[in-house]
């Protein structure tokens, strides 16, 4: 069975400080892992994805995530938060013969304080 | 590149009324199409997926149904809405280049 757990429903950071959004997964198969961001009234946007290549994945807008199989984690980080990073972030596991099924975490709302 | 049009953006419907949410895809052909729902405090849950015209798979039993009358059209329906149908509904398309999501419909059943 597949599942994704985002450990924090809300994270609040000050502008210019590091961001850490935590994600743990459970999968019966070798998964692909994704982070998506959703800004208010906009569609989901792909930040980055892990597909069994390098374990440290760099994405857009300065975000990166590290796949740690031993810890079944895929935490999202950014060295310095911007006000524009305030949004909801989803960790996603994709499985299936064509990776055609997605399982979403419950989401983490990131608040960035000035 | 793929673009997904999903409407309406918000919808308030009374209990017992019918529902029809439409999703159309541009910029690709023969995509896999998906309907997801996010209920309050929960992650996105896969409701239906379709690998072709007229082919619908349901992931969870519910008060909803889906149809795919054309290659790039995916419709989510209900004959009688329940309060528990409230939530945020997302249409998604999968091609070799990856997933594309619509902007979603926020449905409130009152």
A44 in contact with B, Cβ within 8 Å:
yes
Q: Span A27-45, mean pLDDT? A: 79
Q: Which has more pLDDT, B46 or A57?
A: A57
Q: Which DSSP string corresponds to chain A?
A: --EEEES-SEEEEETTS-EEE-EEEE-SS--EEEEEEE-TTS-EEEEEEE-SS-SEEE-GGG-EEEEEGGGTEEEEEESS--GGG-EEEEEEEEESTTS-EEEE---EEEEEE-
Q: Span A45-67, mean pLDDT? A: 89
Q: Span A34-46, mean pLDDT? A: 80
Q: What is the structure's pLDDT at B81?
A: 96
pLDDT at A98 > cutoff 60: no
Nearest to A106 among B36, B43, B98 (CB): B43
* Contact map slice: A 46-105 vs B, CB within 8 A: 46, 49, 90, 98, 100-105
Q: What is the structure's pLDDT at B56?
A: 92
A4 in contact with B, Cβ within 8 Å:
yes
Q: CA-nearest residue of chain B to A89?
A: B43
pLDDT at B10 > cutoff 70: yes
Q: CA-nearest residue of chain B to A109?
A: B41
B34 in contact with A, Cβ within 8 Å:
yes
Q: Span B6-34, mean pLDDT? A: 92
pLDDT at B68 > cutoff 70: yes
- Residue A21's pLDDT band, with cuts at 50, 70 and 90, is very high
pLDDT at B79 > cutoff 80: yes
The overall average pLDDT reported for chain A is 87
Q: Span A51-77, mean pLDDT? A: 91
All residues of chain A having their beta carbon less than 8 Å from the beta carbon of residue B8 are none
A79/chain B closest Cα distance in angstroms: 26
Which three-class secondary structure string do you get for A34-45?
EEEEECCCCCEE
């Amino acid at each position: 069975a597949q599942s994704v757990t985002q450990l924090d429903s809300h994270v609040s950071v000050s502008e210019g400080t590091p961001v850490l959004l935590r994600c743990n997964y459970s999968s019966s198969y070798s998964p692909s892992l994704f982070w998506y961001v959703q800004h208010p009234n906009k569609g989901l946007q792909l930040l980055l994805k892990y597909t069994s290549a390098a374990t440290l994945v760099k994405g857009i807008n300065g975000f990166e995530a590290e796949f740690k199989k031993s810890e079944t984690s895929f935490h999202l980080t950014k060295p310095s938060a911007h006000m524009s990073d305030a949004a909801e972030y989803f960790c996603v596991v994709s499985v299936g013969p064509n990776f055609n099924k997605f399982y979403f975490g419950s989401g983490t709302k990131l608040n960035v304080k000035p | 590149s793929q673009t997904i049009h999903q409407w309406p953006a918000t919808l308030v419907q009374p209990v017992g009324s019918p529902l029809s949410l439409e999703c159309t895809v541009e910029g690709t052909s023969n995509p896999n199409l998906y309907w997801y729902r996010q209920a309050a405090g929960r992650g996105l849950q896969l409701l239906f997926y379709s690998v072709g015209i007229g082919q619908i798979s349901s992931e969870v039993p519910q008060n909803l149904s889906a149809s795919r009358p054309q290659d790039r059209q995916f419709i989510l329906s209900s004959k009688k809405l329940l309060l528990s149908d409230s939530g945020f509904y997302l249409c998604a398309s999968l091609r070799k280049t990856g997933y594309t999501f619509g902007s979603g419909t926020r449905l409130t059943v009152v």
